[in-house]
């Protein structure tokens, strides 16, 4: 990875406490990988041979249920590690990672994990902080599924994606990666019909603009109200 300047990674969570020379040492052991939209980087249950840093694009994390259904657990934004099975004490991947858009990632052999976390204190500290944040996010989603009405769950899911990837456009805030209604149904534990009905109703009310693979939130405040988030 000699072509990638370490200064590009200075502010990213795994590296923000490291010296540039340390970042260079880590980069020199990385391999770059490009993944087409919709392709899997790895699958749930596979032996964890590598861990990754997302440079560009978005990763959709998908879990399978015992009944064979697929649930979208979260989306991972650029600048974050993923596939970090060793951080969870696992030797297999706990979920499937799918490129939500064309993606570029760095990968390292998993045998280097212990060396990185031992040799570079900041790498370990920042990584386990991210793990904690993701566990908190998953806990919040489980609480939503258990306690909230479908409309609240859908609004909360859209707000999460806006917070993770939203970019300002002329008519509101656009979710930066392609997202289908089927994807949203898998995030919220509801049917495709219900998702379509709610998005169509919200579009008529001026809350969102939804096309086949893109969503723009045109009235974020009303979406927050629908999600039940009070800010208290």
Note the pTM of the prediction, 2 decimals: 0.77
For residue range 72-81, list pLDDT tens digits in order: 888 888 888 8
The tens digit of pLDDT for each residue in 191-223 reads 899 999 999 999 999 999 988 888 999 999 999
Q: In what order do the strands lie in the sheet with 167-169?
A: 167-169, 172-174, 215-217, 208-210
107 pLDDT exceeds 80?
yes
pLDDT at 82: 92
Distance, in Å, from the CA atom of 85 to the CA atom of 173, rounded to the nearest integer, reads 33
pLDDT over threshold 90, residue 36: yes
Alpha-carbon distance of 23 to 9, in angstroms, equals 8
CA 55 to chain centre: 13
Burial of 58 (0-12, 13-18, 19+ CB in 10 A): buried
Give yes or no for residue 163 having a pLDDT over 50. yes
Q: How far is CA 112 from CA 19, 107, 229, in A?
A: 19, 11, 41
In the prediction, which pLDDT does 231 show?
46
Report the pLDDT value the prediction gives residue 37, as an integer from 0 to 100: 93
Whole-number percent of the chain with pLDDT over 70: 93
Domains identified in the chain and CATH numbers: 6-145 (2.60.120.10), 150-227 (1.10.10.10)
Say whether 39 sits in a helix, a strand or coil: coil
């Amino acid at each position: 990875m000699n072509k990638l300047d370490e200064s590009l990674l200075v502010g990213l969570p795994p590296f923000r406490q490291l010296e540039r020379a340390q970042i260079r040492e880590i980069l020199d052991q990385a391999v770059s990988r490009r993944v087409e939209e919709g392709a899997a980087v790895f699958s749930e249950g596979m032996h964890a041979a590598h861990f990754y840093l997302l440079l560009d694009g978005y990763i959709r994390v998908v879990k399978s249920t015992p009944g064979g259904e697929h649930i979208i657990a979260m989306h991972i934004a650029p600048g974050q590690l993923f596939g970090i099975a060793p951080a969870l004490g696992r030797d297999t991947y706990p979920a499937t990672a799918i490129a939500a858009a064309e993606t570029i990632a760095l990968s390292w052999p998993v045998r280097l994990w212990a060396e990185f976390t031992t040799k570079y204190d900041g790498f370990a500290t920042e990584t386990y902080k991210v793990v904690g944040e993701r566990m908190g996010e998953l806990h919040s989603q489980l609480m939503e599924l258990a306690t909230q009405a479908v409309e609240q769950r859908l609004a909360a899911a859209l707000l999460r994606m806006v917070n993770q990837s939203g970019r300002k456009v002329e008519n509101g805030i656009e979710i930066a990666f392609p997202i289908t209604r089927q994807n949203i149904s898998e995030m919220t534990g509801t049917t495709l019909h219900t998702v379509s009905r709610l998005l169509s109703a919200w579009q008529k009310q001026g809350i969102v603009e939804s096309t086949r693979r893109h969503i723009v939130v045109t009235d974020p405040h009303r979406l927050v109200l629908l999600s039940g988030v009070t800010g208290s």
